[in-house]
Amino acid sequence: MHNSYRRSAIGIGMIIMLLAMSLFSASSLWAENRPLKTGAFEVVHQLTLPGTPETIFDVMTGDIGGWWDHSFSEKPLKFYIEPKPGGGFYEIYDEAGNGVKHATVTAADRGKMLRYEGPLGLAGRAIFVVTTYQFKAVGSDSTQVTVNIHAAGEMEDGVAETVDQVWHHFLFERLKPYVEAGKMKGE
């Protein structure tokens, strides 16, 4: 009797395993599988701003809410970049601390270079974006800023052009007038 019980248990186990396998196979028939477009691009912008490289670096880091105007929330409480390796590019929505980390700072050298990695407004896609700011003194009172964006991964048609337009907006329509109006920290 003991052997027949064992055979029954093995038989029931086999039946359960076969049922599970058939259910798994049947469920995979309903899975959605669609190919995604992938690609890569580079966008480069360069502008000259009044102020030392250190001053311009400071304007483009820390609290950037005065000139950065694209956000996930309608009116974010805070928008800032921590200019240190491992620091974040944060948008904080409210006093409860809800928000998003748009990127992680991977390199910072005040007045010379800042680099962060993160999708910014392209969050939710399988995309890797590296943004680098380079600062170079021009004469005794101005700074040449070069912003270089490299992106690779999942992207729809027109993403490179959109990123180019958005960065043109940030730099030439927001940051430049902000700096030229003297709205920099400490002024």
This prediction's pTM: 0.79
For the chain, give the percent of residues with pLDDT over 90: 64
The answer to whether the CB of 86 falls within 8 A of the CB of 103 is no
Q: How confident is the model at residue 11 (pLDDT cuts 50, 70, 90)?
A: low
**Which positions ≥6 away from 110 have C-beta within 8 Å?**
54, 57, 58, 83
In CATH, what number does 34-180 get? 3.30.530.20
Distance between CA atoms of 51 and 118, rounded to whole angstroms? 28
pLDDT tens across 134-181, in order? 999 999 899 999 999 999 999 889 999 999 999 999 999 999 999 999
pLDDT tens across 70-114, in order? 777 788 889 999 999 999 999 999 999 999 999 999 999 999 999
**Domain ranges within the chain, ordered by starting residue:** 1-32, 34-180
